[in-house]
Structures are given as C-alpha cells and as structure tokens.
Structure 1
Amino acid sequence: MTTSPGSARATGPAGAGTRTRDDIERAHLVDPTDRTWSIDRASVSPDLGELARRFWIPVWDVPDGRDSVQRVLQYPVCLLVVSDGYARFHGVVSGLSHTTLTGRGWAVGLMFQPAAGHLLTGEPVRRMTDRWVELSALPRLDGAGLVRRVRAAMGPDPRDPAAQAEARTHVEDTLRLLLPVDEEGLLVNAVVEEVESSPELLRVDELCARFGLAERTLQRLLHKRIGLGPKWLIRRRRLQEAADRLRDAEAGLAAIAAELGYADQAHFTRDFRRATGLTPGEFAARFR
C-alpha cells in the first residue's frame, strides 16, 4: 500500500511494514509481537493546524478467538473517531487508554489541538475528562452527515489510500466551520506545545514564568480547555518520554530516571507502573 504526501504508515511491529519512531509513537504502548493491525497517519491541511494535529487510520484483522488491546498514554487533546460501528468524540483520558480490537474493522481518527475541545462542546472540557459522547451530541458539528460520508468513502476498501484521503477531506471540510481559533485557544495550544517540546521543564512555576501567568490562571485555562491541570500535563509528557526511551536497548533505568527529573529509580518505577500497569523493566523487555 502506498501513502499520500504528509502521511506515514506503521504496522504491528513485527509485521511486514516499516515502523518509524517519532513523537507520535511515544504515546502508543505497543506490543511488538502484535501483527494484527496497521495504522496510516497523515497531517492535517495547513489551514487547520491551529485546530487539529493529525489523522490516524487503523485497519485490523484479528483472528477469531483473539483480541488486540491497544494501550495509549493519550496526549492532552480530544479525539474524533469514526468507525464502521461507532462515531465518538473523546475527552482526554487521565490514565491509560484501552481499545480492544476484534474481528475485522477500521477507524478514521483525528487528534485535535488543545484549543478544539471547547470549540466543539461549547463548555469547559473538564466535563469530558475520561468520557466520550456520540458525534451527534456535539452542538457545532454535523455528526450524522460526517459519519455517512466517511463510511461511504471507507466502506469498499479501507486500506485504499484514495478512500482514506477522501475520508480525511470530509472530516476537514466539516471542521473548517470552527475556524478561526480564538485567542485563548491559541494560548493553550502554545502552553501545551511548550511542555511537550521542553523535556527540561519539570515544575509548574517554571511553566507559569515562561508565559507570565499566575498559577491559578494557568489552572483555570487548562481545566477549561483540556480538562486537566498543569501538574498532570508535565507528568504525562515525562511518562511518554520514558516509554519512548525504554524502547532503546542501550537505555539504563537509573539514567532515564535521572534525565527525566525523578528523585530516584524507585520513584520512576512506581510512577511508570501506576500509569501503565508495567514496571519500566517489564515494558523495556518487550523490545529486547
């Protein structure tokens, strides 16, 4: 299968496709022995860059009697997912997100920017934390029409790049009605980007200083626009960074703990296990 410009393909890690590790992969706690799925990823059109980050389109074929559990340390953004069986808008998951794949299927997913959740729901996004609603429940989205168009495009052959491109176009055309992004939305986008791109940033007061915001103001902003606070935001970025570094055969646990600002290896181990259900050593062993 070919991919369109601006897109990338990942398969179950031991499969025939090529896997490229990048910032997208940090969140996906993949099982490297699972060959039952593939994911095509694509960037959004430039005019939507302040509203959405990227598409992901998984296609799976899981043998009878088996399932494939996808575990994700979600980014601090809301998601849109249309499949052949459901169509949902997801708030941010504060813990570990689980999706179980069975049989054959596909989904068209869109990862929004932090600004988007409030624009779509019209209310503080904290009300959506660890929840999802049907697309038809969103006041500023023609959910039913969008679902019909995406399913019509993907139904004949969900692996067809042309079908995937058509589905992405339908999603983007619907979302353009939300533009332009408001000033508060642009600010929360910038705050989250600063955390995600600054591994040395370990404290909330440092983040406040970079934007000239009082901690209470930052708290209110993040709870309104992403549903969780600044301490969670920094901790989530550290855990994603840890998951990425643990895939490296040369990485040592003590060194990773120190580089990510943990007081010691024991603290790092407790934090990682609480978030993922695995110790750092158990997770790293999957890639050896």
Structure 2
Amino acid sequence: MARAADDIERAHLRDPSDRSFTIHRYGAPEHLRGLLRRFWIPVWDVPAPEQSVQKVLQYPVCLLITTPAYSRFGGPTRGLSRTVLEGGSWGFGAMFTPAAGSLLLGRPVSTITDQSIELDEVFPGLTVKLRELMAADPDDIGAHAEGRTLVQERLEPLLPLDEESLLINDLTEAAETDLSITSVVELCRRFDLNERSLQRLCNRRLGLTPLWLIRRRRLHEAADRLRESSGSLADVAAVLGYADQAHFSRDFKTATGMTPGEFARMNAAAD
C-alpha cells in the first residue's frame, strides 16, 4: 500500500505553519472497512522548551494510540481534543469505525466516552509489539506495514458484521456527510427509527447523541470552508444553516477556542 500524503483533514485544527511533525496516513484494507477507517502515524521533533498543541474535533469513533510514553484505547471525545507534543517522538494510531467500538470493548461505548483505557485491556500484548517495531525508525514504511498487520489481525474475528453494526455505520456516515440532514427528526426518518430507538442505539454503539453527530458535522464543514476562504463569514453561517453570523461565531469559538475569523486568518497566513 502506498504511503499517504500528509494532508490536513477536516477534524484536525492544525496550524499550517507548524512544521514540527509529519503524519503518515494509511487507509484500511477493503475487507476491514466496516471496522477500520484508517491508520495515522505522527512523528514529531519539537525543540525544547517549545510545545506544539494539537487540537482535534474528533469523529464519532474509538481510537488506538501507542507512543513510547503511553498506550491507550480511547472513546469518543465530545469536546475539543488536545494533545501536547514535546521533544522528539512518535505515535502509532488507528481510527476505528462507529461499529467497531462496542464490538472491541464487549460493552456500550458510552462507558468510555471522554475517557481512555489501557490499550492492552482491548488488545492484549499489542503495546510491546508496536513499540518494538517503531523504536528503530518511526518513519520506516516497513515498520508501519507490520504494525498495521498486527492491528488488522485482531479485527478479523469480528467479521462478518451483524445488522446493527452495518446500521450504525450507515447512519453515522449519513449524519457526517449528508448536508440535507439538519435535525434528529430527519435522521429518524431516513433510517425508519423512532427517536427513542435512535437515542438508545447511538448511546450504546457511539457513546454520543444523534444531535451531537449533526452538530459535529456542521463544525467540520465550517472548518473546511474557513480553510478555503469560501465566502464571507456571513455566507458560511448561512450555508451551514445558522440563523445569523453571531450564532455561528459563538458555536465555533465554544468548540474550538478560536473565532471563525481567527481560524480563517491562521490558514490564510500559510498560503
């Protein structure tokens, strides 16, 4: 599999001028795409005493991340995720699908929302193997491939996916990508579910609410449009369905810690 480009995806509120790290990204093999979205392997070198603070509006999924300092299986983060990079180091990460979380945990994802547990509670023995692979050269593509294989082998026994797992993947994809879905009622109608059933399903399988899915998609879309300088702030607010620019600005700053104007200027400065 070819090495992926170090692009800036919509969830990562990265300062484009920050050159202190590289992220290697790899997609999932075809047969595991119902369980695995992608791998990401950051390698950083931040001169002391500086810090590089990474801010992410995460997706509605569980994550795996191993570094020399810690190794975790994380639940979905409802707010803004912050990671501080210092010195020189690396991480090996995997992003699972909405369906995978409860299958891997053996319990509702709501039990680890906004939390993480030790990776070896979910994947026994994986931490030491990943660290051994990555220690010599964290940029080594061969080590990345071997690490991906270790994770992928642990997912094979979960196939084939049951009907509920297929449903939660489809439902989440619709909420994340279909701009015409602007309310929980519309999401219920699309998948022929009553609101109570939808709430229970999302709580169990995602650890989140249906409304959170729609709001997070809107913030991701806002970040995309602001990076592209696509229209005025008032135009962006209108396209995203806000009643006015002030409401949009409040929501964006509450979620990201930056006003829409500050985020747009940060990205424009790097062009």
TM > 0.5? yes
Matched position secondary structure for 2:128 = helix
Cα deviation, residue 54, structure 1:
0.5
Cα deviation, residue 137, structure 1:
2.1
1:116-154 CA-to-partner distances (Å, cap 9, x unmatched) read 11011111111111000001223xx32x2x112211211
Q: Does 1:271 align with 2:267?
A: no
Cα deviation, residue 175, structure 1:
2.0
Q: Does 1:85 align with 2:85?
A: no
Q: Does 1:69 align with 2:53?
A: yes
Kindly provide the amino acid, as one letter, of the partner of residue 116 in structure 2.
W
Match 1:225 to one of 196, 201, 205: 205
Q: Is contact 1:272-1:278 (8 Å) kept?
A: yes
Q: Is contact 2:120-2:127 (8 Å) kept?
A: no
Kindly provide the amino acid, as one letter, of the partner of residue 210 in structure 1.
R
1:150 corresponds in structure 2 to 130
Match 2:159 to one of 163, 173, 179: 179
1:105 corresponds in structure 2 to 89
Kindly provide the amino acid, as one letter, of the partner of residue 197 in structure 1.
T
Matched position secondary structure for 2:203 = helix
1:191 corresponds in structure 2 to 171
Match 2:144 to one of 164, 184, 197: 164
1:201 corresponds in structure 2 to 181
Q: Does 1:284 align with 2:260?
A: no
Q: Is contact 2:62-2:73 (8 Å) kept?
A: yes
Q: Is contact 2:177-2:217 (8 Å) kept?
A: no
1:243 corresponds in structure 2 to 223
Cα deviation, residue 250, structure 1:
4.2
Matched position secondary structure for 1:184 = helix
Kindly provide the amino acid, as one letter, of the partner of residue 146 in structure 2.
E
Kindly provide the amino acid, as one letter, of the partner of residue 96 in structure 2.
F
Distance (Å, rounded) in 2 between the aligned partners of 1:178 and 1:155: 30
> Greater CA deviation, 244-253 or 158-167?
244-253
Distance (Å, rounded) in 2 between the aligned partners of 1:251 and 1:176: 45
- Deviating beyond 3 angstroms after TM superposition, the runs of 4 or more aligned structure 1 residues are none
Cα deviation, residue 202, structure 1:
0.5
Kindly provide the amino acid, as one letter, of the partner of residue 9 in structure 1.
A
Distance (Å, rounded) in 2 between the aligned partners of 1:82 and 1:169: 15
Matched position secondary structure for 1:26 = coil
1:137 corresponds in structure 2 to 121
1:9 corresponds in structure 2 to 5
Matched position secondary structure for 1:100 = strand
Q: Is contact 1:9-1:38 (8 Å) kept?
A: no
1:78-117 CA-to-partner distances (Å, cap 9, x unmatched) read 0011112211000000000001111111111111000111
Q: Does 1:261 align with 2:245?
A: no
1:210-253 CA-to-partner distances (Å, cap 9, x unmatched) read 11000110000000001011101000000011011101234311
Distance (Å, rounded) in 2 between the aligned partners of 1:72 and 1:250: 21
Aligned length: 268
Matched position secondary structure for 2:50 = coil
Kindly provide the amino acid, as one letter, of the partner of residue 202 in structure 1.
T
Kindly provide the amino acid, as one letter, of the partner of residue 125 in structure 1.
V
2:21 corresponds in structure 1 to 37
